[in-house]
Chains A and B, each alone.
Chain A
Amino acid sequence: MANITMKSVDAVVVGGGWAGSIMAKELTEAGLNVVMLERGADRSTASDGAYPGSIDELQGNFRHKIFQDLSRSSVTIRNNSSQTALPYRQMAAFLPGEGVGGAGLHWSGVHFRMPPDDLILRSKVKEKYGEKFIPEGMNLQDYGVTYDELEPFFDKAEKVFGTSGEAYTVNGQVVGKGNVFAPSRSDHFPLPALKDVYGASLFRRAAAEVGFHPYAMPAANASAQYTNSYGVQMGPCNFCGYCSGYACYMYSKASPNVNILPVLRTDPKFQLRDRAHVLRVELDSTKKQATGVTYLDSNGDTVFQPADLVVVAAFQFHNVHLMLLSGIGKPYDPVANEGVVGRNFVYQNVTTTTAWLDKSVYTKQFIGTGGGGVAFDDFNSENFDHGPLGFVGGSPVWVNQAGIKAIAAAKSGGPPGTPRWGSAWKKAMVDTYRHSVRMDAHGSNMAYRDVYLDLDPTWKDAYGLPLLRMTFDWKDNDIRMNRYVVGQIAKVTRAMGARDVHFGQRQPDEHFDTRYYQTTHLAGGAVMGADPKTSALNRYLQSWDVSNVFVIGANAFPQGTGYNPTGMVAALAYWSAYHIRTTYLKNPGPLVQI
């Protein structure tokens, strides 16, 4: 158990997922020596995704082979601050990653750009409906960055990820049958859209028939062979259905392991250290500069890695945890409504509707691609008039058939009300599996004053450090939004000719339940913004308090959004890196003066 001090480097990056890999690539391109620290094991598609051994649902989705090791570190959760938060002991509601590639290895591949209005949501709602429209206690904020500013970085990320999709407008000209609500792009998607699976094709036809605007979901699952902007090759997706929870054996799903690290690993300026668990970012006596990070290595030695620049780029809540443990930024106090680290913690508001088709029709739900599908955005973002509805936020609706496999089908069973075992279960389960179509309302979740992250007073991780505590519950605004959008789905299922439908929707006064998978799209907690009183990071994702610390991830979202977060995280990483490269490195210090 030695104490070791390493030779100083230009930059240390905490976390080996998308954010960390993008930042390490950009910083080595800028000539910096970069060390990346990943607490989990090294992983590659060749070892973790080898066919056929990797095509194992028990290991992938139920023993969580490539997910976070909860035995070492977890979080505690409660619905409100009068409760005692209890440990999240078993993986269920959300599934954070671990190991090189992070959540970017086990994700599905849905790859969106953030809707422009979502980036300026407070301003937009205020302008359209007046400030009084914002419910009491809702911390609605702008990101401090606009779509036009981010557009080149969305484009850059798509060309790294090999994203498949169909544009609606490029440079203001209508060019295809893409999402009519999507903002204009500077270029087409790198690859054409993936084919629709059957359920998605039925959904497309029915949605169009009732007047909605269906489009092919943008997917970082390659629809054809592709060589990305770093020269790395991807294979065409074969719809195997093993995306979410797996390393893609076809090299079709974008991951840091496939799309960035093969190049980065050959760069002499880059060093990856796996099984390196970062304990804290070290600050100097002024608390305004970081001197490096301290981590535990696989031998149990405590290692100090000095660095001029510290990039915190782990998963959303790990970033917030590390800031709290390191004393970077003022911790949020919900009573005084002061402080910023832990503030505006949000989730995503997803419910699933199932439609049963005629028994002669086989939907083959085992065929799937993680990011592909058909969506409509008529009730997402500010694409519809919220005035008479009285809620903030929205929800895309989609068929995103990522491949439903046998154990998942058996455990989810038949329609609600049918038994979960025995002959009645068996009959209903088989019917459901063979002939149904599942649709998600993939909604936003707003930020509230009494929903936040802080350090737990009781439970510790394997390193003796306090667990992060989540205080989270569903709120009336978000429940009403979900119920409104799910109500619209009824029009589509009628047009599909479904023989039966179960509408998955939030119930009034429903509490967040940690026991069922909902989504891993956690966000906020260390948000970006223009005001240091309500944001932990400036618009370049630089800590307001410690200027040589940048914090990259979905933690930066001031409130939830209807889309999956990875596209935005990647764009923010490239955006931040660009400003580090062009401005910060020439004259290190705050990029925004208060």
Chain B
Amino acid sequence: MQGLAGAAALGSATLPARAARSTERSSYTPGFFSQPEWAFLHAACDRLIPEDAVGPGAIALGVPEFIDRQMETPYAYGKLWYMQAPFVSGPDNLGYQLPFTPRDIYRKGIAGAEAFVKAKYGQSFHALDAATRDVILQGFETGDVRFGDLPASVFFAQLLNNTMEGAFSDPIHGGNKGLGGWTTIGFPGARADFMDWVDQYGKEYPLGTVSISGETA
């Protein structure tokens, strides 16, 4: 079958993609985020998935680039959501009821977060140490902070969701650089053929991860 042939071809591919990737990362210019927003995004993502002994962090994985690239997709314009008025608030368990698209949430959220941080700490978010940034993000996640008509918790949830997507989706979308998200957890990516591994009980899967474009790690 065509699919099996494709899988076999990917298994033997060894593309020298690592060098090209690091250049691409440093030269990326955001299309949606302004420079101050870009600095906030890096400083926040860096705390959501920090670099540590377990594996690479969100910055090395290119998560900000992923999020910026997502901002030009229909999703970011709210085209995947039912966005008909009226917008009426209700109990949390009935779900999201705000008129804001992901683009709106980032724009309002980062501005609101920066204003909040400046008022409280007298500096920009990205200038604060890691521990202080963690405290601030925890406050956004669980507290009652509001950025005008946007609850901080909504902004935080948007950022956290997209950060996880950026770190663990196929690198075709701009994140998961060097397949570092996948190697951290032992996910083999687009291999998608485990016929011979179904009943190799208990053993760790030995083959490296591979992306849709054939990049390996």
Binds B, one of A19-27, A56-64, A287-295, A438-446: A56-64
Q: Which residues of B contact A90 (CB under 8 A)?
A: 80-82, 95-96
**CB–CB A430/B185 < 8 A:** yes
Q: Which residues of B contact A201 (CB under 8 A)?
A: 199, 201
> In the complex, how many angstroms separate the beta carbon of A428 from the nearest chain B beta carbon?
10
Central interface residue in A57, A79, A364, A514, by most chain B CB within 10 Å: A364
Interface size on B, residues (CB 8 A): 69
Q: Which residues of A contact B143 (CB under 8 A)?
A: none
Q: State A407–B96 Cα separation when bound (angstroms).
A: 21
Q: State A434–B4 Cα separation when bound (angstroms).
A: 26
Of chain B, the residue at the smallest CB distance from A433 is B185
Which residues of B in the span 16-39 have a Cβ within 8 Å of any Cβ on A? none
> In the complex, how many angstroms separate the beta carbon of A355 from the nearest chain B beta carbon?
14
- Any B CB within 8 A of the CB of A541: no
Assess A51 versus B192: contact at CB under 8 Å? Given A58-B165, A64-B80, A367-B197: yes
Q: State A104–B177 Cα separation when bound (angstroms).
A: 34
Central interface residue in A62, A77, A201, by most chain B CB within 10 Å: A62
**CB–CB B93/A238 < 8 A:** no
- Any A CB within 8 A of the CB of B150: no
**CB–CB A70/B54 < 8 A:** no
**CB–CB B49/A55 < 8 A:** no
In the complex, which of the residues B79, B86, B199 contacts A195, with contact meaning CB atoms closer than 8 Å?
Answer: B199
Of chain B, the residue at the smallest CB distance from A460 is B84
**CB–CB B192/A55 < 8 A:** yes
Q: State A423–B47 Cα separation when bound (angstroms).
A: 9
Assess A84 versus B88: contact at CB under 8 Å? Given A56-B212, A198-B202: yes
**CB–CB B165/A62 < 8 A:** yes
Of chain A, the residue at the smallest CB distance from B66 is A58
In the complex, which of the residues B49, B91, B199, B204 contacts A196, with contact meaning CB atoms closer than 8 Å?
Answer: B199
Of chain A, the residue at the smallest CB distance from B86 is A458
Q: State A423–B203 Cα separation when bound (angstroms).
A: 26
In the complex, which of the residues B54, B80, B84, B170 contacts A426, with contact meaning CB atoms closer than 8 Å?
Answer: B54
Q: State A416–B35 Cα separation when bound (angstroms).
A: 37
**CB–CB B52/A426 < 8 A:** yes
**CB–CB A79/B93 < 8 A:** yes
Q: Which residues of A contact B119 (CB under 8 A)?
A: none
Over the window 123-134 of chain A, the binary record of Cβ atoms lying under 8 Å from chain B Cβ atoms (1 yes, 0 no) is 000000000000
- Any A CB within 8 A of the CB of B181: yes
> In the complex, how many angstroms separate the beta carbon of A307 from the nearest chain B beta carbon?
31
- Any A CB within 8 A of the CB of B167: yes
Q: Which residues of B contact A513 (CB under 8 A)?
A: 93
> In the complex, how many angstroms separate the beta carbon of A207 from the nearest chain B beta carbon?
17
In the complex, which of the residues A74, A235, A362, A423 contacts B54, with contact meaning CB atoms closer than 8 Å?
Answer: A423
Q: Which residues of B contact A406 (CB under 8 A)?
A: 168-169, 181-182, 185, 187, 189
**CB–CB B83/A89 < 8 A:** yes
Q: Which residues of B contact A52 (CB under 8 A)?
A: 6-7, 10, 190, 192, 212
Q: State A333–B93 Cα separation when bound (angstroms).
A: 25
In the complex, which of the residues B49, B83, B93, B192 contacts A241, with contact meaning CB atoms closer than 8 Å?
Answer: B192
Of chain B, the residue at the smallest CB distance from A85 is B94
Over the window 392-428 of chain A, the binary record of Cβ atoms lying under 8 Å from chain B Cβ atoms (1 yes, 0 no) is 0000000000000111011100000000111100110
**CB–CB A238/B195 < 8 A:** yes
Which residues of B in the span 182-217 have a Cβ within 8 Å of any Cβ on A? 182, 184-190, 192-195, 197-199, 201-205, 212
Of chain B, the residue at the smallest CB distance from A369 is B198
**CB–CB B187/A366 < 8 A:** yes
> In the complex, how many angstroms separate the beta carbon of A126 from the nearest chain B beta carbon?
35
Q: Which residues of A contact B2 (CB under 8 A)?
A: 51
Q: State A407–B182 Cα separation when bound (angstroms).
A: 9
- Any A CB within 8 A of the CB of B151: no
Assess A89 versus B164: contact at CB under 8 Å? Given A406-B182, A433-B185: no
**CB–CB B80/A63 < 8 A:** yes
- Any B CB within 8 A of the CB of A145: no
Q: Which residues of A contact B186 (CB under 8 A)?
A: 362, 430, 433-434
- Any A CB within 8 A of the CB of B124: no
Q: Which residues of A contact B93 (CB under 8 A)?
A: 79, 511-515
Q: Which residues of B contact A410 (CB under 8 A)?
A: 164, 167-168, 181, 185
Central interface residue in A89, A241, A423, by most chain B CB within 10 Å: A89
Over the window 88-126 of chain B, the binary record of Cβ atoms lying under 8 Å from chain A Cβ atoms (1 yes, 0 no) is 101111111100000000000000000000000000000
Q: State A250–B1 Cα separation when bound (angstroms).
A: 8
Assess A362 versus B205: contact at CB under 8 Å? Given A63-B80, A70-B80, A84-B90: yes
- Any A CB within 8 A of the CB of B71: no
Q: Which residues of B contact A79 (CB under 8 A)?
A: 91, 93-94
- Any B CB within 8 A of the CB of A112: no
Assess A361 versus B192: contact at CB under 8 Å? Given A51-B3, A52-B212: no
**CB–CB A240/B201 < 8 A:** no
- Any A CB within 8 A of the CB of B72: no
- Any B CB within 8 A of the CB of A429: yes
Of chain A, the residue at the smallest CB distance from B89 is A86
Which residues of B in the span 30-61 have a Cβ within 8 Å of any Cβ on A? 47-50, 52, 54-55
> In the complex, how many angstroms separate the beta carbon of A189 from the nearest chain B beta carbon?
19
**CB–CB A407/B1 < 8 A:** no
**CB–CB A87/B97 < 8 A:** yes
- Any B CB within 8 A of the CB of A197: yes
- Any B CB within 8 A of the CB of A53: yes
- Any B CB within 8 A of the CB of A239: yes
Of chain B, the residue at the smallest CB distance from A77 is B94
In the complex, which of the residues A240, A422, A429 contacts B193, with contact meaning CB atoms closer than 8 Å?
Answer: A240
- Any A CB within 8 A of the CB of B172: yes
Assess A426 versus B55: contact at CB under 8 Å? Given A89-B82, A362-B205: yes
- Any A CB within 8 A of the CB of B173: yes
Q: State A241–B184 Cα separation when bound (angstroms).
A: 19
> In the complex, how many angstroms separate the beta carbon of A262 from the nearest chain B beta carbon?
16
Central interface residue in B82, B88, B141, B169, by most chain A CB within 10 Å: B82
In the complex, which of the residues A197, A361, A430 contacts B198, with contact meaning CB atoms closer than 8 Å?
Answer: A197
- Any B CB within 8 A of the CB of A578: no
Q: Which residues of B contact A196 (CB under 8 A)?
A: 198-199
Q: Which residues of A contact B10 (CB under 8 A)?
A: 52
Of chain B, the residue at the smallest CB distance from A426 is B54
Assess A74 versus B48: contact at CB under 8 Å? Given A51-B6, A53-B212: no
| A/B interface sample: 29 pairs, CB < 8 A | A51-B2, A51-B7, A55-B192, A56-B172, A62-B169, A63-B73, A71-B80, A74-B82, A79-B93, A85-B94, A90-B80, A90-B82, A198-B202, A235-B1, A236-B195, A239-B193, A251-B1, A362-B202, A362-B205, A366-B205, A367-B197, A406-B168, A406-B187, A411-B164, A421-B47, A426-B184, A430-B185, A458-B86, A515-B96
Closest 6 CB pairs of A and B: A240-B192, A406-B168, A58-B169, A74-B82, A513-B93, A239-B194
Residues of chain B touching chain A, judged by Cβ–Cβ distance below 8 Å, are: 1-4, 6-7, 10, 47-50, 52, 54-55, 73, 75, 78-84, 86, 88, 90-97, 134, 137, 141, 160-161, 163-165, 167-170, 172-173, 181-182, 184-190, 192-195, 197-199, 201-205, 212
Q: Name 8 extra pairs, CB < 8 A, besides A51-B7, A57-B169, A83-B91.
A: A63-B73, A70-B80, A89-B97, A239-B193, A242-B192, A366-B187, A410-B167, A429-B185
